[in-house]
């Protein structure tokens, strides 16, 4: 959660940014998210995001610059560099309409796939970009499991599956080929329509943006499909659209799983680790969406990934 001082200061800053020419605007600010890793406040058509306290401001500035240089792929930032507020780097963005979680049939899988393909084909800027931090997020989720719920009955299968992954997927070394720009944390919550409410879909959230294995960006829907949490027709919509748009993470035809196997396993472990940690903290059993993830980890622990890269 945010500090007591940060949230009102963030609300005041986003209001001033939204109404630079009308500071007496009576409309209020809305808190869109308030987590340890991000506090997000909206005022009219402007959104301010306070990033995690341990965020590297220079790396974040490079990621914002990359997003600004990819119009039609990322939501364009309203300011070229972050500002600092109560020790937290803050970025400013236009408001976009998010995916409706109550209407799964309208999930924009084709749009997400097309945006990823464009991102993965984009030239890597010569100025240098930080590494995509997807594997590091997975490693942090496993570390929290080891600290917060090491004796939970489901911790063993999850940690066993993690141990079977190659070193790059555990963020211990760089990936075998880190040549593409990657989002790093792709899910449907990372898309918005801009201009709101019905403009084209664009990617948001630059915190994990960087160079890496583009297959990581396909890993979450691939993992959900493999665990039975994403219907086959939705997975095929996503995969077909990505291939049609020339996405380089998988072959243009044939079996995609040699490329997707390791990232999908890593995302399965990450999601399962978070689920077990949260369930243990709340002293509740795993629910029907969490159990398949742990079951998949138990199966994974008995076999090695098919893709190279130790």
pLDDT per residue of the chain (310 residues) written in tens, 0 to 9 = 456 789 888 888 898 888 776 555 667 789 999 988 899 999 999 999 999 999 999 999 999 999 999 999 999 999 999 999 999 999 999 999 999 988 877 899 999 999 999 999 999 998 889 999 999 999 999 999 999 999 999 999 999 999 999 999 999 988 777 679 999 999 999 999 999 999 999 999 999 999 999 999 999 999 999 999 999 999 999 999 999 999 999 999 999 999 999 999 999 999 999 999 999 999 999 999 999 999 999 999 877 544 444 4
Predicted model pTM: 0.91
Domain architecture of the chain: domains with CATH? 6-95 (3.30.200), 104-300 (3.90.1200.10)
Q: pLDDT value at position 23?
A: 58
The pLDDT value given to residue 178: 67
Q: Phi and psi (nearest 5°) for 182? A: -130, 150
| pLDDT for 306 | 47
- Amino acid 38: pLDDT: 94
End-to-end, the C-alpha distance of the chain in Å comes to: 37
């Amino acid at each position: 959660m945010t500090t007591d001082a940060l949230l009102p200061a963030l609300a005041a800053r986003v209001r001033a940014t939204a109404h630079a020419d009308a500071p007496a605007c009576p409309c209020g600010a809305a808190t869109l998210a308030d987590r340890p890793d991000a506090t997000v406040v909206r005022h009219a058509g402007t959104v301010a995001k306070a990033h995690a306290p341990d965020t590297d401001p220079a790396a974040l500035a490079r990621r914002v610059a990359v997003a600004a240089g990819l119009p039609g792929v990322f939501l364009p930032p309203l300011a070229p560099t972050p500002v600092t507020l109560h020790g937290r780097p803050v970025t400013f963005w236009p408001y976009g309409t998010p995916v409706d979680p109550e209407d799964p049939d309208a999930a924009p899988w084709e749009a997400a796939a097309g945006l990823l393909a464009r991102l993965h084909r984009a030239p890597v800027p010569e100025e240098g970009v930080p590494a995509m931090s997807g594997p590091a997020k997975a490693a942090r989720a496993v570390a929290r499991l080891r600290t917060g719920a090491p004796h939970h009955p489901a911790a063993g299968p999850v940690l066993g599956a993690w141990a079977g992954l190659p070193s790059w997927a555990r963020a211990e070394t760089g990936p075998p080929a880190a040549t593409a720009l990657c989002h790093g944390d792709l899910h449907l919550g990372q898309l918005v329509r801009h201009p709101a409410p019905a403009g084209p879909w664009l990617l948001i959230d630059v915190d994990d943006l960087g160079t890496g294995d583009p297959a990581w960006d396909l890993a979450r829907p691939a993992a959900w499909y493999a665990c039975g949490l994403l219907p086959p027709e939705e997975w095929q919509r996503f995969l077909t659209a990505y291939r049609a748009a020339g996405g380089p993470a998988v072959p243009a035809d044939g079996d995609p799983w040699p490329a997707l196997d390791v990232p999908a396993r890593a995302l399965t472990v990450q999601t399962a680790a978070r689920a077990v940690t949260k369930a243990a903290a709340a002293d509740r059993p795993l629910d029907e969406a969490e159990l398949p993830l742990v079951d998949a980890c138990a199966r994974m622990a008995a076999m090695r990934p098919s893709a190279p890269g130790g």
